[in-house]
């Protein structure tokens, strides 16, 4: 009787979605910051995602993993969360084409004009509140409609992980998308565009902050190019 032929294993599928390598690099960096070695990381991945290898994960799963490793990370000035908030708002102005320098020196110059404090790193949370409000007002004049606590709470009833961090990013994306549609660069809603371009889940309320940041950079570059401004990371 002839020996049964062994079926050769199916070739491993490679995933080349945009932003995939960026997420993997960010995950490894987050683990290094928190002194999580590869074995520990794989155990966490298996428990959280059900996959021990990042190469087997979708972009959505990588985003969930990055959010998990970044949760609770405070960074060199992390006890002052307002620093990150101000930087994120300043970068949003950059992606919307309102400013051309997203760097720390430009932020510090703005902070000094607003508060008299010479640099962002010296800003306490009390004075930071006025800076944050000034930046949000600037973005509102550019078309950003900021979410209300009530609206966030309603969304969170069906998507428990949804927070103000997600809602604010969606507000920026909506404003950028509107500008791109007005300029004839993009057809349809930013949600549909990102589903196709980044391979995200159909329900945008489940997108991670990492996925939303990828979308802001992607659409922001398009908007700056449309406005004739050179984008840089």
Query: Does the structure show a pLDDT above 90 at 146?
Result: yes
Please indicate, yes or no, if residue 4 is contained in any of the structural domains: no
| Residues 173, 193 share a domain | yes
Range of the domain at 46: 20-70
In this structure, the answer to whether residues 91 and 182 fall within a common structural domain is: yes
Q: Provide the H-helix boundaries in 51-148.
A: 59-70, 82-95, 104-115, 125-141
Task: Tell me, yes or no, whether 76 lies in a domain.
Answer: no
pLDDT tens digits, one per residue of 50-89: 888 898 888 888 888 888 777 645 444 444 567 888 999 9
Q: Which of 158, 52, 30, 12 is nearest to 61 (CA)?
A: 52
Identify whether 5 is part of a domain. no
Checking if the pLDDT of 174 tops 90, the result is yes
Q: Which DSSP symbol is given to 55?
A: G
Same domain, 99 and 146: yes
Asked whether residue 132 falls in the same domain as residue 204, the answer is: yes
Q: Cα separation of 40 and 35, whole Å?
A: 10
Give yes or no: residues 166 and 126 share one domain.
Answer: yes
In this structure, is residue 123 part of a structural domain?
yes
Q: Decide if 128 is inside a domain.
A: yes
Q: Let me know whether 66 and 178 are in one domain.
A: no
**Are residues 47 and 127 both part of a single domain?**
no
Q: Model-level pTM? A: 0.66
Name the more confident of 205 and 123: 205
Do residues 15 and 31 touch, judged by C-beta distance below 8 A? no
| 148 and 190 co-located in one domain | yes
Query: Nearest Cα to 66, choosing from 28, 118, 35?
Result: 28
Helix 82-95 / helix 209-226 crossing angle, nearest 10 deg:
30
Overall number of domains in the chain: 2
Residues 172, 204: one domain? yes
């Amino acid at each position: 009787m002839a020996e049964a032929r062994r079926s050769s294993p199916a070739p491993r599928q490679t995933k080349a979605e945009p932003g995939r390598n960026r997420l993997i690099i960010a995950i490894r960096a987050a683990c290094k910051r928190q002194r999580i070695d590869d074995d520990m990381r794989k155990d966490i991945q298996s428990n959280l995602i059900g996959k021990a290898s990042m190469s087997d994960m979708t972009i959505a799963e990588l985003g969930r993993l990055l959010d998990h490793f970044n949760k609770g990370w405070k960074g060199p000035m992390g006890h002052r969360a307002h620093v990150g908030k101000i930087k994120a708002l300043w970068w949003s102005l950059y992606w919307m084409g309102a400013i051309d320098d997203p760097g720390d020196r430009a932020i510090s110059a703005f902070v000094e004009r607003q508060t008299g404090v010479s640099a962002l790193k010296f800003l306490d949370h009390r004075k930071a509140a006025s800076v944050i409000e000034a930046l949000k007002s600037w973005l509102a004049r550019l078309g950003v409609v900021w979410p209300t606590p009530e609206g966030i709470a309603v969304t969170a009833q069906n998507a428990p992980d949804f927070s103000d961090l997600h809602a604010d990013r969606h507000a920026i994306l909506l404003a950028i998308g509107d500008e791109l549609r007005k300029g004839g660069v993009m057809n349809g809603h930013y949600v549909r565009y990102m589903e196709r371009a980044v391979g995200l889940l159909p329900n945008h309320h489940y997108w991670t902050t990492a996925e939303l940041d990828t979308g802001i950079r992607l659409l922001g570059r398009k908007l700056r190019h449309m406005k004739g401004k050179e984008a840089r990371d």
